[in-house]
């Protein structure tokens, strides 16, 4: 049996949605499964909490956790976090 590939889907600048594209925001956040990458809910939450926003995986982990939190709260956590993280995504995707 082959092992599952835990690597997240690669993204480019073209994958970054506008702030008013909720479906695009969900697609971007869900393209990184923090539970798989970090091995558990706790691992993903800790990665997001300790993020220095210096790597794409760190920024994606923060957005993934904001997506999960927003789903549970039924609020706009994802949108708020994307506004904050978008400049980091752009910088890291250009470098």
22's CB contacts (< 8 A; 6+ apart) are: 79
- Whether 34 maps to a domain, the answer reads yes
- Whether 3 maps to a domain, the answer reads no
Strands (E) located in 1-95: none
Question: How many angstroms separate the CA atoms of 83 and 78, rounded?
Answer: 9
Average of pLDDT values for 76-86? 96
Q: pLDDT averaged over the chain?
A: 91
- Whether 51 maps to a domain, the answer reads yes
- Whether 81 maps to a domain, the answer reads yes
Give the number of domains in the chain: 1
- Whether 12 maps to a domain, the answer reads no
| pLDDT single digits (tens) 3-38 | 456 678 899 999 999 999 999 999 999 999 999 999
% of the chain residues with pLDDT over 70: 94
pLDDT at 5: 61
User: What is residue 91's DSSP assignment?
Assistant: H
- Whether 2 maps to a domain, the answer reads no
Residues spanned by the domain of 37: 17-94
- Whether 5 maps to a domain, the answer reads no
């Amino acid at each position: 049996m082959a092992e599952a590939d835990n690597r997240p889907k690669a993204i480019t600048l073209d994958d970054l949605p506008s702030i008013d594209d909720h479906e695009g925001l969900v697609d971007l956040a869900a393209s990184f499964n923090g539970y798989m990458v970090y091995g558990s809910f706790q691992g993903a939450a800790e990665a997001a909490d300790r993020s220095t926003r210096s790597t794409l995986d760190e920024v994606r982990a923060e957005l993934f956790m904001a997506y999960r939190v927003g789903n549970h709260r039924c609020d706009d956590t994802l949108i708020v976090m994307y506004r904050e993280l978008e400049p980091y995504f752009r910088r890291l995707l250009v470098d």
